[in-house]
Amino acid sequence: MSETPASSVFKEAAALDAADGLAAKRAEFDLDDTVVYLDGNSLGAPPRGVAGRLADVVGREWGRLGIRSWEESGWWTAPERVGDRIGRLVGAAPGQVVVGDSTSVNVFKAVVAAIRMTRGAGEGEAPLRDEVLVDAATFPTDGYIARSAARMTGCRIRAVAAADMAREAGPRTAVALVNHVDYRTGRLHDLPGTTAALRAAGAHTVWDVCHSAGALPVRLDADGADFAVGCTYKYLNGGPGAPAFLYVRRALQDRFDSPLPGWNSHADPFAMDPAYAPAGGAVRGRVGTPEILSLLALDAALGVWDGVDLVAVRAKSLALTDFFLRCVEAYVPEGRVASVTPEAHAERGSQVSLRYGSGAGEVMAELIRRGVVGDHRRPDVLRFGFTPLYTRFADAERAARVLGEVIGAREGARR
C-alpha cells in the first residue's frame, strides 16, 4: 500500500520520540497517559516530587516546627531563593528575581516603579515622561493594571502593537509593557530589539514572560530588560495559583520605589518601625507574607529543570510545533483551520493556535471529551500548548488526528 500523509506522520512520530533527548523527563511528571495534555501553557502538569514535598512541608515544617520554620526551614528567604532558581531559566543572574503575589500585582509594581524612575527630583512634580505604552494585544490583566497605574500617576496610556513599540516610543514615553509571547497567537516578540530601542528613546521596558519562561531561552540580563514579570503555573509547573515573579535589573534596584511597600520589603521587618526603609536588592519587590505552601510546591516543581538546557527545550518545542502543523495538514480537511501562529521560528513561542470558523468552542469541548486537552479562546481560536519536558511527538500526532475526526464528523452531520 502506498504511503499517505497520515500514515507517514504516524510512523514519523514514533521515530521522533525514539530520538528525543528529553523523552526521559516525562517520567518526572504525574500524567494521565490516556489523555493528550496540551494545556501546559495555561496550567502545567504536576511534577511527581511536589506531592511528597508538600506533605513534608505541612506535616513536619508546619505541623512540628511551626513558627520556627520561618528560620529553620528557610521559609523567610524562600522568595529570593526560589527567585534565583527561576533566574537561571530566564537568564537573570542571582539576586534579581523575587517570587510572590500574582502576575497582575507584579505588573503594577513594575509599571509604577518604572514611571516613578522618570520623575523629576521633587515629589509631586509633573512627570518628565507621561506616556505608558501597552501591547495592543496584551493579555487583558496587563492592560487593566497598566491603565490604572497610568491614571494613578497622571500618565496617559497608548495601545501599540508589540512589533511597533520601538518606533512608537518617543520623548514622553516612560515605560512600555510588552508580552514576550502573545497568549492568543503564540507570536514571539523581539525582546532584545524592542528593549534596545526603548532604551535609546529613554524609556523602560516591562516584559511579561508568562508564556516564555520555561518554554524557550529568555535572556533578561543579556538582552538588557529593565523589568520582567511572569507566572509560574504554566511552563514552570508550579501548580494552580502558584506565585508569580518579578525581575528588576540590578542597575535599577536602588531606584526601585515600590508602590506596594509592605513590611516584607522593609530593610528590617521585625523592627516594626513605623517609618518605612526599603530593603536592598530583589527583596524590595516583596510585599507581605509569602505564600509558603504554593511557593514551596513551586520550589519542588522546579527540580525537573535541574540539568536541563533551555536550548534543547527550544529545539524540541520548535520540532513539536512544526510536526503538529504538518500533522494538521495531513489529517484536517483542507481549508478548515488556519494557523495564526507564525511560521518563522524566530517569531514563534511554544504553542500553536488554529482559527476555526464558527463553533471553535464546540470543537474544543469535543476534543476534550475525546481525551485531547487544549483550550479555546473566544471567538475562534483553538490553542494547543507544547511543553517539551512532557509532550511527545505521538501526542502531537494524536491531537491532530482527533481534530481531523472531530471536524470531519461535524461536516458529516451537517450533510
Ligand X SMILES: Cc1ncc(COP(=O)(O)O)c(C=O)c1O
Question: Annotated binding residue at 273?
Answer: no
- 108 or 139: CB nearest ligand 3DJ: 139
Question: Annotated binding residue at 345?
Answer: no
Catalytic residue, candidates 25, 129, 187, 234: 234
Residue 212 binds ligand X, judged by CB under 6 A: no
Q: Tell me which stretch binds ligand X (CB under 6 A): 89-97, 204-212, 252-260, 378-386.
A: 204-212
Q: What are phi and psi of 48, to 5 degrees?
A: -60, -30
Residue 39 binds ligand X, judged by CB under 6 A: no
Residue 108 binds ligand X, judged by CB under 6 A: no
Residue 179 binds ligand X, judged by CB under 6 A: yes
CB 89 within 8 A of CB 127: no
- 73 or 102: CB nearest ligand X: 102
Contacts to ligand 3DJ by CB under 6 A: 42, 139, 183
- 385 or 404: CB nearest ligand 3DJ: 385
Residue 102 binds which entry of ligand X, ligand 3DJ, none, CB below 5-8 Å type-dependent: ligand X
For residue 93, the 8-state DSSP code is -
Question: Annotated binding residue at 289?
Answer: yes
**Residue 156: in which H helix or E strand, if any?**
strand 156-160
Among 244, 367, 373, 402, indicate the residue that binds ligand X (CB under 6 A).
244
Is 208 tagged catalytic? yes
- Pairing state between β 204-208 and 227-230: parallel
CA distance 70 to 61: 9
CA distance 299 to 293: 10
Residue 301 binds which entry of ligand 3DJ, ligand X, none, CB below 5-8 Å type-dependent: none
CB 253 within 8 A of CB 282: yes
Is 11 tagged catalytic? no
Residue 339 binds ligand X, judged by CB under 6 A: no
CA distance 163 to 194: 8
- 134 or 203: CB nearest ligand 3DJ: 134
CA distance 14 to 406: 23
- 183 or 207: CB nearest ligand 3DJ: 183
Question: Annotated binding residue at 104?
Answer: yes
CB 111 within 8 A of CB 206: yes
3 state SS for 121-136: CCCCCCCCCCEEEEEC
For residue 288, the 8-state DSSP code is S
Question: Annotated binding residue at 263?
Answer: yes
**Residue 364: in which H helix or E strand, if any?**
helix 360-369
CA distance 92 to 301: 19
Residue 78 binds ligand X, judged by CB under 6 A: no
Is 233 tagged catalytic? yes
CA distance 245 to 77: 14
- Pairing state between β 227-230 and 131-135: unpaired
**C-alpha separations of 86 from 97, 98, 194, 201, 366 in Å:** 7, 9, 23, 30, 36
CB of 183 to ligand 3DJ, least distance (A): 4
CB of 114 to ligand 3DJ, least distance (A): 22
Residue 142 binds ligand X, judged by CB under 6 A: yes
Quickly tell me which residue has 471553535 as its cell. Answer: 360
CA distance 220 to 338: 33
Residue 380 binds ligand X, judged by CB under 6 A: no
Residue 227 binds ligand X, judged by CB under 6 A: no
Quickly tell me which residue has 494613578 as its cell. Answer: 152
Residue 73 binds which entry of ligand 3DJ, ligand X, none, CB below 5-8 Å type-dependent: none
**C-alpha separations of 407 from 161, 331, 358, 370, 410 in Å:** 33, 10, 12, 13, 5
Q: Tell me which stretch binds ligand X (CB under 6 A): 137-145, 325-333, 371-379, 393-401.
A: 137-145
Edge-to-edge order in the sheet of strand 337-339: 337-339, 351-356, 381-385, 375-377
Question: Annotated binding residue at 139?
Answer: yes
Residue 208 binds which entry of ligand 3DJ, ligand X, none, CB below 5-8 Å type-dependent: ligand X
- 29 or 183: CB nearest ligand X: 183
Among 23, 31, 94, 104, indicate the residue that binds ligand X (CB under 6 A).
104
Is 226 tagged catalytic? no
Is 139 tagged catalytic? yes
Interacting residues with ligand X (CB under 6 A): 102-104, 139, 141-142, 179, 183, 208, 210-211, 231, 244
Residues assigned a catalytic role: 139, 208, 233-234, 383
Binding-site sequence positions for pyridoxal 5'-phosphate: 103-104, 139-142, 208, 211, 233, 263, 289
Q: Which residues are annotated as a binding site?
A: 103-104, 139-142, 208, 211, 233, 263, 289
